[in-house]
Copies of this chain bind each other. A is one copy, B any other.
Amino acid sequence: MYKIVSIPGDGIGPEVVAGALEVLNAVAKKHGFEVEIEEHLFGGASYDVYGSMLTDETLEACKNCDAVLLGAVGGYKWENLPHDKKPEAALLKLRKELGLFANLRPAKVYDALVASSTLKTEVVQGTDFMVFRELTGGIYFGQPRGYDENRGWNTMVYERYEVERIARLAFEYAQKRGNAKVTSIDKANVLEVSQFWRNIVHEVHQDFPEIELVDMYVDNAAMQVVRNPKQFEVIVTGNIFGDILSDISGMITGSLGMLPSASIGSEHALYEPIHGSAPDIAGQNKANPIATIASVAMMFENSFNRPEVAGDIYAAIEGALAAGLRTGDIAAPGEAICSTTEMTAAIVARI
């Protein structure tokens, strides 16, 4: 039995999470396992009831489950709150409390949507790699930091354990993917912190001799993602480089709004679409549930080690797309548009 905490959140969150849970129930039925789903408030939805974006109760629930599924948080309504009360601050706090040090984002091109990429079809079709971004260290968190009238400063720092644990996670994932090639991205020709990163990644690599490890400089990597994205299978990199590279990698798929993500720690994991809460279309049955449904697939791959379940979900998504179903965000001009519930039903029907 898998115990899952569901956090619909704000905006389109409840609609896309509802769709994802339908798919979750469908794969449970097909594969004969049980799921227990516990729903909790978070973000603006929580603030409006409790005056807090993240209550102790929600946090405890997230700590006592097998995986968290999150929809989206935030919206116009809570934009003018003080910085530390904003939905984004609550999300950072939740990630920190759960110790989620790795962010995983797939760059996967759906055949049916390949034309929506700004890259040529022959360059991008078949792209399918995973970016492991270190999420709680590096220059976004390093001390000292600050600015005054005459200068500004930040510190890019990595500790041994921080590099070790994410490198290990990436190699283990690569192992599960049939010993996929791992590309570690740094700027070791200029930065000492990158030379350190590279040294540690190579140390960890000694435990995975069957896996090919390639080092690449970040400026070259950004070019290579645009030049020939199919050369990548697994990318592992630090926080700021991963921020930049995972965004380019998502962009070249042509379907940014379709991409799921996982944030993983040694004890907890949280799955969510990378898109936002889209308050302008909330409650109208217009949102695209695929990114959240794909987040459930990632959950089965990464938290439950059941790639066959994940495979069923991805195949059902591709089947629905191949059958021509398009929510407004992915419809080409003139194409018929389906609703959130129609897209969900089409995917469930293919499980």
Contacts and interface: CB of A to CB of B under 8 A. Distances in A.
Interface string A192-203: 111111010000
A158 interface: yes
Nearest to A163: B152
Contacts of A223: 247-248, 250-251
A139 B153 CA distance: 9
A240 interface: yes
Interface string A217-257: 01110110011100000000000100110011011100000
Interface stretch (A140-148, A174-182, A208-216, A264-272): A140-148
15 contacts: A140-B191, A142-B153, A147-B193, A150-B159, A152-B191, A152-B194, A153-B156, A153-B192, A154-B191, A222-B222, A222-B247, A223-B247, A223-B248, A223-B250, A248-B248
Interface in A42-64: none
Main secondary structure, interface of A, reads helix
A196 B227 contact: no
A160 B244 CA distance: 26
A247 B219 contact: yes
A119 interface: yes
Contacts of A119: 118-120, 226
Contacts of A227: 118, 251
A243 B219 contact: yes
Contacts of A195: 147, 152
B154 A153 contact: no
Given A145-B191, A147-B192, A219-B244, 9 more contacts: A118-B119, A145-B193, A151-B159, A152-B192, A154-B157, A218-B244, A222-B222, A227-B251, A248-B248
A223 B220 CA distance: 15
A187 interface: yes
B153 A157 contact: yes
Interface in A116-174: 118-120, 123, 139-140, 142, 145-147, 149-160
A154 B195 CA distance: 11
Contacts of A81: none
A190 interface: yes
Contacts of A154: 155-157, 191-193
A291 to B, nearest CB: 17
List the 8 shortest-distance A-B pairs measured between CB atoms, nearest first: A152-B196, A152-B193, A147-B196, A223-B251, A153-B157, A219-B247, A147-B192, A118-B123
